[in-house]
Structure formats: C-alpha cells, structure tokens
Structure 1
Amino acid sequence: MRPHLWDPWATARTAPGRTAVVADDETCTFAELTGRADALADALRARGVPDGAVLSTDLPTGPRFFALALAALRHGYGLFPLAPELRALPVGPSLLTDTGAVLHVTTGSPAADGPALPCPAVGDDELIAGAAGPAAGPAAAVPPAAGHLVFATSGTTGLPQAVVRTRPARPYKGVAVTARYAAGLDRGPHLMANPTYHLGTLGPALYALQAGSAVVVQRTWSTTAFAELADRYAADSVMLSPDRLTDLVGAGHAPRRRFRVVFHGGAACPPGVKRAAIGLFGPVLHEYYGTSKSVLTEITTPEWLARPGSVGRPLPGIRVEVTRDGRPLPPGEAGEIGIRLRAADRDPSEAPVHATGDVGFLDADGYLFVLGRAGTPEELRAARLEHEVRLLPGVTDAVVVLGGAAPVCFVEHGADPAAPDPVPAVEASARGLGLASPRVVLAAPGSLPRTPSGKIRRAGLVGLSGAGAAAGGGRG
C-alpha cells in the first residue's frame, strides 16, 4: 500500500462528527478540533504574533492542547510544550528564553505561582475571546511554511535543555498515512497512555490524529484502567514506555481486543520485558529510537526476535554512524552514535553530523544497538555493563552510576521469582569490562525515580547508593 497525505482538516470535511480527542470528561470532534485550531491561529495573528514565532504552553494533553498544536503546525508557529513540573523549576524560565518563546498559552487565568516567565502569558479561551476585532494584518495569500515543535530533553543526567527543531520550508501538508502505523479513517483510536510532552510519547499521538484516528488520553495511569479504556474505545494503537510495559507484564493486564500495533521507545527495554510483552500483546510491538530532534530508527517484532536488543535500522533519508575519535568503526565495535538527518530536518547552519550523546554499535546488516550514554572510556564501559545487566533473567532495568571509589549498579529485579540472583553475574560482567567491583543495589521493578517519559532519572539516584534498604536491598 502506497502512503497518501492526510490531515485533520481533510477528516473534518469527510467526517466532521468523528471523535477526535477524548481525555477524561473532555471530548471533541474533528470539526470542533480544527475549528478551534483555526480560531487560535486567527487570534494569534490578531495579537500581532509574527510568522514563525515560538509559543510555549502547559495546557494538559487533551482537546485544547491538540488544537493549539495543530494551529501551530498548519499556521506556521513553533510550539514548545512546557510540562507544569518544568515550569515550576528555576530552570523553567530559561528554557523559554532559550527557545525565544514570545507568548505562553495556558488554561484559565495565567498562574501567578512559580518563577516569572520571560514572556506574556494568556489563557487559551482568553486569547480567542480577545480576537473579536480585525486581525493585525491580512492573511497571507501564500500559505506559510509549516510550524514546528520544540522539545526539552528528559533531564536524566541533570537539568533539562531545550532542543529547537528545524522549521520545515514548505506549507503544512499533514502526514503520509502508512498501513504499518495502524492509523486512519478505517482504524480505531490511538491510546496515549503516557500523556507527556516528550517527542517519543507525543509523536505517535500526533501522527494518529493527523492521519484520521481519534486519540484517547489516559491521564491517570493504572493497568486496569488501561485495559478498560482500550476495550471501551476499541483502540488499534498505543504507545507505551518501558516502565509502562513492565507494569502491564507484571500485572498480566491486556485488553480483550488485540492492538494492531504497540509502539514503545524513549528508554532501553530489557529483552526479558519485551519478550513477555510480545507474549501478552502478540507480535505487534514496534520499537523506535530517536532524539529530541527526530525519530531515527524503527524495528518490528519479527526483526527484533531475530536480533534481540536492537532498536532497528535508520528510517529512509537518515544515516547512522558509529565512530571513536572521529574514526568510523566496523560492525560490532561500540562507539559514539552520530546521525545525518534528512535535509528537510536539518538547519544549514548545523554541523552535518549530530552527536546523540549515546553509544552503541551497528551489526553487519546495519541494525543499531544502543548501550547507553557515555563520554569517557570509563563511561563507555559502564554503558556496556548496563547493557549486559539488562540481558540477565528477571532484570527489568539497570543503571550504573560512576563517581566514587567503585561504581554503583542499580538493578530493578524480582518480577520473576524463579530468576537467579543477578549480583554474581553483575560482578563478573564488571570484571570482564575492566571496571572495579561494583556495589549492587537491588530495587523492585519500577521503583527507581523516573522522568515523565519513563527513563530512570540518574540525578535522582544520588544518595540512594548508601541506602540499600530504601531502594529495595543492597549488596557489594
């Protein structure tokens, strides 16, 4: 099946009463969604917000948020979703400064608590109501270049940073609808079980919505509510971060109706968890790997079963390079992962190769294996140790923290009571990699601090290494 272009305005013309977004007791049709998106764009022009300007927002994921996102994409604005917890931090205002945001769009009256923002704030309803007069200028005869989204990094190792993506040069055209993503007018909703602003969680939902599928947002997580929502709305696709997969595997909760595709990404998924998830949902898992700039690779379930641990091959037009000291490495040898983006996704002023900050290796067939974050040779060995620990039976995640006399290896373990004690294997792997004997801190699955996108927050582990009981047990 050849892909075809589609967008929410086409759905609104074809099926105006079709449900577009559901979030708790909020719901809207495609006609209502696109109508609000156009009203927001008219209001922004009436306010004098220039073409290409960046807006920020902390609207909760739901109808209002997606209307603003579509307004930005179609009418040529940048949009920086700023999670409320980030806005409340001292770093919040600096993120807006880094993106050049000129207006913050929020819900109701702008909140006065938290650090002052470097730009005006306005409620989304207030913004529309204030556009009753004539616009600041006539609408452009030629459609503007498409808008773009701006994201913040997860902040797993420190403070989050804003990543400005390149604005497309052409007008908004929607998305290329392809069968493998299970979205479109003939498909059921996409269940957004991680209602965060991270590219990995927001991207699949925005794709489904633009392709003509409804988006059902699960704002409060529980495994039973997940299965109930999926069955109630007959969802065909879902995005799950590895921690959500771990929860579902542990609870054994799956909808009665099978998904057509289960997307997952955003963090490393231990092979044991993924195999159990395949057993729970069927061979429909579709993993992806990327950065805040772009999705880079994808892998299907059959491909992954042939290459456990891989995150797939690069998408068309993207090149992945693995180097050390600027030298390309042969298949199987670990080094720094760099990417060459498509020309449309790259600013001409940027370097041709973007450093991801991750390390890994390519196999002989071009499939990428990501080991983790690294910089120094010792950090590379620690990343390899994390990778090897995740392969152990019963392990649901692992992180190695350096900085003391010996590394500390946090291991989430215990989902399978029959799995062997991982500590001897961790110690043996560390010796084989030339690392000092680590202190091993065992933790219950899902108990380590995580970012909203599901990654273990390394900065939150400071102080836990000396408190084994608090983490679930410790040995060293």
Structure 2
Amino acid sequence: MYPGAHAAQFPDKPAVVVADGTEVVTYGDLEERSARLARHLYAAGLRRGDHLALLTDNDPKTFEVYWAAMRSGLYFTAVNRHLSPSEIAYIVNDCGARALVVSARLAETAAAIVPETSAVKVRLAYRGLVDGYGSYEDALAESSPEPLAWQPAGMDMLYSSGTTGRPKGIEPPLQDRQVHEPGEMVASVFGPMYGFDTDTVYLSPAPLYHAAPLRFCGAVQAFGGTVVVMEKFDAEAALAAIERYRVTHSQWVPTMFVRMLKLDEAVRNRYDVSTLRVAVHAAAPCPIDVKRAMIDWWGPVLYEYYSSTEGIGVTFIDSEQWLRKPGSVGRAALGIIHICDDDGREVPVGDIGTIYFERDEVPFAYHNDPAKTIEAVHPRQPTWSTTGDIGRVDDEGFLFLTDRKAFMIISGGVNIYPQEIEDALALHPKVFDSAVIGVPDPEMGESVRAVIQPAPGIAPSPELAGELCAFLRDRIAHYKVPRAIDFLDELPRTPTGKLVKRELQKRYR
C-alpha cells in the first residue's frame, strides 16, 4: 500500500503530526503534494533508477519528498544534517543525486554545498528561500496533482552512520513492482510482526535521515496509521507525547531508555503510557539491567529486532522470550544465521564469531565501493554477508551480540568486548554516558580505558574513578576493568544514539 490508497478512503486523517502540535499533514495533503513533486521531477527528466537527495531537519515535508521518490522509481537518500558541508557534499555526489531538496532552516549549509555538487540538476528549497535553489512551493504549484500513469516503486539508498569510518552508501536493487503493489521489506516483514494497521499511532523520536525511523514511518503510512514525529528526542517530552497522542507503537534506541529511566521517579509516573502496545528497540545492544527496568515500567510491550541498514537479515524477540533469554536479540526471521571464525569456518554452538546471514542473494551493494562489498561477503559462501558484528548463537537458535569487530580490544592476547563494560556502567547513578576503548600499551598491546560523561552535578575526580572501578569489579571479570578512566563533558554520539568511537580513538592513537 501507499498513501494514495488511504487518501481515497480518509483524506482528512493525519498521516503525520509534529509532536509539539505545530503541524499536521493529512493523507489527502500527503497524496497530492507527493504526486505534484513526482510530476515536477519527471518533467525535469528524472527517470527510474535516478537519485533524489534530501537535506532537512525532522520536518513532516520529509514524507512528501520520500513518497514522491517511492512513486517514481527513484532512489531516495536522506542526508545527515549534522555533517559538515564537505561531508554532505560527499554524500550528495557519491549517491549521484540528480535532484536535491533542502530545508531553508539549514540555509547556510545548503548554500555552501552548491559549488561542490555541480552534478545536481534540480534544486528545491522549502520553508523559505536558499541561494542557488528554486522554490519548492512554486514547483508544486506549477505541477498537476494527478498521479503519473506509471508509478514504479522506488527504494531508499541510505548511508551508514560512519561510526567505524567514512559513511557508505547502501544500494539495494530496485524491485520490479508498482508503488501500490506489496513487496517492500519493512512493511511486509515488520508490519505483520508488530501489528501495524489504520489504528496505529507511531511515535518517532529519532532523526528521520536514519534508516529505521524513516523506514518504519514509511511502513506505518503504507498501512494507513498516524506518525508522530519529535523534532528531537527529549526524555520527558517523549513521555508527554505518548500520553497526548495515545501512542500505540514507538521505536527507540537503548540510550533513550537510559535517559528516561534516569528521570526522577515522580516525573516518570506523571505520564500515562498504558496505550503502548509495542515499543520497538534496535540500533545497539541494550544493557540487560536497562531492558529489565523498562519491562518492569512499561510492561511486556518491548520488542527488539536486530538488523542493519544493509538489510542482510533480521532477528526478532519479544518481552516474554527475552525474560527467558536475557541479552538475546532473538531468532532469525529473515535469513539463516552463521557464526564464523576469522578464516570463515563455522564455529560450534555457543562460540563467539562474526555474524553472517545467508539469503538467496546478497541484498545490497556498497555504492561506488565494490571492494567493501566483497569484504562484506563470506570468502567461500557468496550468499552469506556480514556487517562486522560479533556474537554467538545458543542451542535454541537465539542470537546474542557481543560487539562490533572493529571495537574489540586485544589485551595481552585476550579478547575484551567494550559493550559488556559499557552495559555494566549504564545505570550507575553518577554516570550519564560512557565509552570503552582500547588504547596502545607497550606491554599488553592494548589496554582498556573508559571515557565517562558524569551525571549532571557530579564532578570528575580520582575518587569517582576509583568508585567506578570498584563498582565494575563486582560485576565483571577483573581483567576487563579499565586500567584508566578519563572524563569528558560530552561523548561523541550520533543523534541516533550510536557512539562514534573512532573520534575517541583518534585522541589516543
């Protein structure tokens, strides 16, 4: 399905609402405006397989542009607005965008990239004027609202968050179908799993340029539900939005859970979250204590999945299963899991190794980077692929994540996984955020170092470092306890909550 089908049934129903109540876009609006933009792009010469890029904040117009691409057979690339102009220009050029739509709220950055993106043929700006761009509103006004006669389905082509290096464009093959025909993966796999329908009210607190929020919002609109978009995440504001809009479904990352759990108990209890039927979380492993506390608070409505922007495979787990298998991200629902050693040999059940998913074919390629695509494929099994995550599978097929291979610390020949140490620190009352990295050590090769952002009102000190080390010794093996703890005012995280560890590693290497 797509918004046009629902616009015919309930044109005045909200397709997207800004959480603070400042704007509502109905299905009738979304259908008409995305059809007008699709016609404008077609008239400008864009055809199936061409690329459309978007640079914006969390704006409901995101979905007009998204659905214009989806109904035109275009690749759609949402660009991280927090990047520098040169990084943004790199993505616009790398994806081969023939059209670029920007928000005037980002006018300075949007104007700065014009000289660096000369291959772009169509430039439009909304919410105001931007040097070098035409008027988005004028373009729509001059186009017909009548849908194109042929509406081939488009695809998103998003870029990895760049936590382990430069962002990589992930290009899936275009599907041979029309936009109204079934086949889109998130809608077909996740929709039935989580019960998306016309009654769904879905809260999205994360940036829309990220894969999961964008794809899930699109899936909810494909099913005729209402998307509630937060301009940025705030712990208390998220709870208020759940109560105000009687949210039924939502999606989070573990960092958001930690922020909400650290609110004063009186604040947490102020808001009614009883309408929640499904609270999805993904993007990073969730500390066991954090997830157990969330289930105690919200009830057994937490559903976790493990996947990636590459879409190589999917696992699912619900609250009841997780309470039986704490720490697991579930069993495979798309693809077959294989755990392999560094030479590509499968390891015994329970052993740790690189996670591969087997599909009929590898469902993506890294755009303009065949070497990286080859690195992601098993050396001897051409239908197995990996994103470099490490984990193990138990005898019932439940997958447990360990860490990213790139983050593993080898100290004195022993493998140490930072995620375990970070999880242990997550709910310490004096820790707001933490990162654990390996730093060069002349004797051990690497040694473990923690970098801590203290909780508000807590001053860094040697005494605090000692207290945290003692806290860890009660919870993890002593050889994993950091040899040193540093303090920073703020850790480098993406707006989706992922640690950018390479920024920390640069300080010590």
Q: Match for residue 417 of structure 2?
A: 384
Structure 2 residue matching 1:55: 3-state secondary structure = strand
Q: CA deviation at 1:191?
A: 0.8
3-state SS of 2:417 partner = helix
Summarize the Cα distance change of 1:344–1:159 in structure 2 as closer, same or farther, 3 Å threshold. closer
1:128-180 CA-to-partner distances (Å, cap 9, x unmatched) read 63477799xx9565x42x21111121222333222223322322225348454
Q: Is the 8 A contact 2:206 2:232 kept in 1?
A: no
Report the more deviating stretch, 378-387 or 201-210.
378-387
Residue 461 of structure 1: aligned partner:
504
Alignment-derived partner of residue 154 in structure 2: 147
Aligned residues: 448
Q: Mapping of 1:41-190 within 5 angstroms?
A: 41-86=38-83, 88-108=84-104, 111-114=110-113, 116-120=116-120, 122-123=123-124, 126-127=135-136, 129-130=138-139, 143-144=151-152, 146-172=153-179, 173=181, 175-176=187-188, 178=191, 180-187=193-200, 189-190=201-202
Q: Displaced runs of 4+ in structure 1, greater than 6 A?
A: 131-135, 347-350, 412-415, 427-433, 463-466
In the TM superposition, residue 355 of structure 1 has moved relative to its aligned partner by 2.0
Native 8 Å contact 1:168 1:344 kept in 2: no
Superposition map of 1:301-450 within 5 A: 301-316=319-334, 318-324=335-341, 325-341=343-359, 343=361, 345-346=363-364, 351-374=382-405, 378=409, 384-387=417-420, 390-391=423-424, 394=427, 399-405=435-441, 406-410=447-451, 421-424=467-470, 426=472, 438-441=483-486, 447-450=490-493
Following TM superposition, by how much is the alpha carbon of 1:60 offset from its aligned partner in structure 2, in angstroms? 2.7
Shift of residue 202, structure 1, vs aligned partner: 2.3
> Which consecutive residues of structure 2, in runs of 5 or more, have no partner in the other structure?
127-134, 374-381, 442-446, 459-465
Q: Is the 8 A contact 1:99 1:164 kept in 2?
A: no
1:196 maps to which of 194, 208, 226? 208
Deviation at 1:11, TM superposition (A): 1.4
TM-score by length of 1: 0.83
Deviation at 1:277, TM superposition (A): 1.0
* 1:225-279 deviation per Cα after TM superposition (whole angstroms, max 9, x unaligned): 2122221111111111111111111114264142111111111211111111111
TM-score, normalised to structure 2's length?
A: 0.78
Tell me the amino acid that sits aligned with residue 119 of structure 1: A
Distance in 1 of aligned mates of 2:359 and 2:92: 25
Identical-residue share of aligned pairs (%): 26
**Equivalent position of 2:239 in the other structure:** 227
Displacement of 1:361 in angstroms is: 0.8
Q: Contact 1:388/1:429 (CA < 8 Å) preserved in 2? A: no
* Residue matched to 2:444: none
Change (3 A) 1:414 1:312: farther
> In 2 relative to 1, CA 382–16 (structure 1 residues): closer, same or farther, beyond 3 Å?
farther
- Aligned-pair CA distance for 1:15: 1.1
Cα offset, 1:213, TM superposition = 0.9
* C-alpha distance in structure 2 between counterparts of 1:169 and 1:379, whole Å: 47
Distance 2:338 2:496 in 1: 26
User: 1:402 Cα shift?
Assistant: 1.9
Q: In 2 relative to 1, CA 94–465 (structure 1 residues): closer, same or farther, beyond 3 Å?
A: closer
- Taking a change above 3 Å as real, the CA distance of residues 268 and 302 of structure 1, as seen in their structure-2 partners, is same
Q: In the superposition, relative to structure 1, how do residues 347 and 404 fare at CA in structure 2: closer, same or farther (>3 Å)?
A: closer
